[in-house]
Amino acid sequence: MTATRACSASEISTSEPRKVEIDGIAVSIVRDSAGQIHALGDRCTHGDISLSEGFVENDTLECWAHGSQFSLHTGRPLNLPAYEPVPVYPVTIDGDDVLVDVTNPIDVSGLMADGKELT
């Protein structure tokens, strides 16, 4: 694991995503309604749009261009027009530092949109 400091946890609100660049990879840092911080690929899979310019709503990251909402837990779009997921990266909180490992995206194949495991 190669976690890199992305930002301060205290900078991340539940309403606005924050864009950071780690090793040349654009990442959206988002806080969900439970206070957990997530890191998702910043590029919408439908178009060349930065997801961090969108909205955090109902624990999704919504693309402002055409409204696809991506699960914060799986990166999967929950509605069209996007149909390909964005990567979700492991986040570690160290004090007020948000550390993100862009070299090792999370395997979300066994997760539902709310982050619970498929049974």
Residues that bind ligand FES (CB under 6 A): 44, 46-47, 49, 63, 65-66, 68, 81-82
The b-or-e profile of 9-26 (16+ CB within 10 A means b, else e) is: beebeeeebbebebeebe
Tell me whether residue 49 or residue 88 sits nearer to ligand FES (CB atom).
49
Tell me whether residue 63 or residue 99 sits nearer to ligand FES (CB atom).
63
Tell me whether residue 80 or residue 93 sits nearer to ligand FES (CB atom).
80
The b-or-e profile of 37-75 (16+ CB within 10 A means b, else e) is: bbbbbbbbbbeebbbbebbbeebbbbbebeebbbbbbbb
- To ligand FES, the closest distance from the beta carbon of 100 in angstroms equals 22
- To ligand FES, the closest distance from the beta carbon of 32 in angstroms equals 20
DSSP assigned state of 84: S
Tell me whether residue 3 or residue 49 sits nearer to ligand FES (CB atom).
49
- Are the C-beta atoms of residues 9 and 29 closer than 8 Å to each other? no
- To ligand FES, the closest distance from the beta carbon of 93 in angstroms equals 29
